[in-house]
Structure 1
């Protein structure tokens, strides 16, 4: 099986090398298990020597992308720094991605590599994952694509995408398992000390509020929520801020932020709770009241839904001094 790792101009070295290394390691483990090596792994780029990060590294490609006639799996890592500049620097690669896909190649984007993949149009009308911090930017640039909030791996047909940063390893392990076997993927996960079955990046997300839209009145409502999240907030009162009926306001708010007003309030409160857990020794009940909740079950359920962890588990994981349950 031929695996082609695209080395983008100004690519992120920490994302370019993992898939190459993992599939090479898979061959080593397969041989150690008495099986045949099955992966032919290569770097392909627009030039023979590709600068990565801010020129700190140079990747020597095995061949130029234009000279790849066919491949079984094309992996697209992210670019480093300014995304728009990175897309422009690699624009020559887009038609080659399209041609390889049309010839039956599977395609996988890693982290912000989803932006390069989205440029091909292959994701239009489909779902994908990318780094949680760039969801709004992705949605704005590619409104015809459904980006999945919090997902580690998204698979649609033979197109794959991963969440942010180290989440790319989970997709790489998934692909190793898919094209070889579970045993080999587990050996790689142990060798690189990776959690093979992590399925959400929610625990790492930092909610900053979706304010890249241009609805000034909705931003006014968002600012109000962020200043008053400890108080009881009534949706009708929020609608009054923009002189709108409730149903019209809710549609308008969701269109601007991709959240209902209630979801937005919950995310602001849970983000505040996360900061309390990370920086103080307050117990769960104290934090719950500090962020505007009075019902323990509602707080616990909402916290776990948004972060993937219970409040106690989150505190034990991220507090300056871990506490006992």
Structure 2
């Protein structure tokens, strides 16, 4: 196991530098707590900053671990913008392609607030849902009508892409990444030290879906990216294998080897992850959430949800909802 985990932060023109340095400090705190909690198996959390030069090429300008050999970042963060205009257009230089390249290599791509505009410019959000600051939602939606902008959500985590809402949502994004990369106990210790309320993020008390994206099998990674952006309709192993250009047996073997799960298990966990976000951040009924998560049979949805999460959808909502109690929360 590689004991160095690298997070790359895009310091694009007009980026809010307080968030760049705040994230860097947050990850340093997380590294310290990981070292305290897992002395024998602690990981180095490497943070790098990237800017564009005079020729608009992207290059590294800061590295918390400069003596380490170059590796592939496991996550790329696009922080909020502070300028009068959203990050978009030619002045972003090589950032869109740089981001796409890391996504192809298996990195988690993350944005906070206005950083969603730069993420939208890459095309990676096409056909997907994303959140951003409510002031920016209409602008981004008009510029990119193929993206479903939902500014009611604090954070949307689709496995390979995470978007966070308001100006200070970089703190939520940072804690989510720490939770995924270093674990819940390190995330909670970091939140306590920085006096940040982890709130509903304690959902990770229950087992959660953390997809493996850095396995190196580009064909399977392409299927994962496609699955994360689907509407959960009409997807099965035959469809996935055909899309991958592989025979079913070969596809099953390679998918299991790359992700650690068979395609059916992976897809179920992906749908349940979607349902958990809806239970936390919406007032939709259990039936509507089941449908939105790809389940036509609500009873089947409840059974799968309980099997994977450990509690019923209603119990989960009562514990983690951030929108108040709903009429169907007592349902199992």
Tell me the TM-score normalized by structure 2. 0.52
Equivalent residue in structure 1 for 2:199, among 179, 197, 200 = 197
Give the RMSD, CA atoms, in angstroms.
2.9
* Residue-by-residue CA offset, 1:210-232 (whole Å, 9 max, x unaligned): xxxxxxxxxxxxxxxxxxxxxxx
Distance 1:26 1:84, change over 3 A: closer
The answer to whether 1:44 aligns with 2:40 is no
Moved over 6 A (4+): none
Distance 1:101 1:190, change over 3 A: same
Quote the residue 2:19 is aligned against. 15
Contact 2:116 2:163 in 1 (8 A): yes
Quote the residue 1:26 is aligned against. 30
Distance 1:194 1:136, change over 3 A: same
Range that drifts further, 8-17 or 138-147: 8-17
Equivalent residue in structure 2 for 1:104, among 103, 106, 112 = 106
- Structure 2 unaligned runs (5+)? 55-59, 65-69, 202-321, 326-332
For these two proteins, the number of residue pairs brought into alignment is: 191
Contact 1:8 1:78 in 2 (8 A): no
Contact 1:126 1:156 in 2 (8 A): no
Aligned-pair distance for 1:85? 6.5
Quote the residue 1:257 is aligned against. none
Aligned-pair distance for 1:87? 4.2
Aligned-pair distance for 1:183? 1.1
Aligned-pair distance for 1:25? 1.1
Contact 1:6 1:74 in 2 (8 A): yes
Distance in 1 (alpha carbons) for counterparts of 2:148 and 2:80: 19
5 Å-filtered alignment, 1:70-109, equals: 70-84=72-86, 87-109=89-111
Equivalent residue in structure 2 for 1:6, among 3, 10, 17 = 10
Distance 1:308 1:157, change over 3 A: closer
Look up the SS of the partner of 2:72 in the other structure: coil
Contact 1:76 1:110 in 2 (8 A): yes
Distance 1:150 1:85, change over 3 A: closer
5 Å-filtered alignment, 1:169-248, equals: 169-197=171-199
* Residue-by-residue CA offset, 1:137-166 (whole Å, 9 max, x unaligned): 111111100111211111123101101111
Quote the residue 2:145 is aligned against. 143
Distance 1:20 1:198, change over 3 A: same
Aligned-pair distance for 1:32? 2.0
Distance 1:26 1:34, change over 3 A: same
Higher Cα radius of gyration: 1
Contact 2:7 2:74 in 1 (8 A): yes
Quote the residue 1:122 is aligned against. 124
Aligned-pair distance for 1:45? 1.6
Contact 2:81 2:113 in 1 (8 A): no
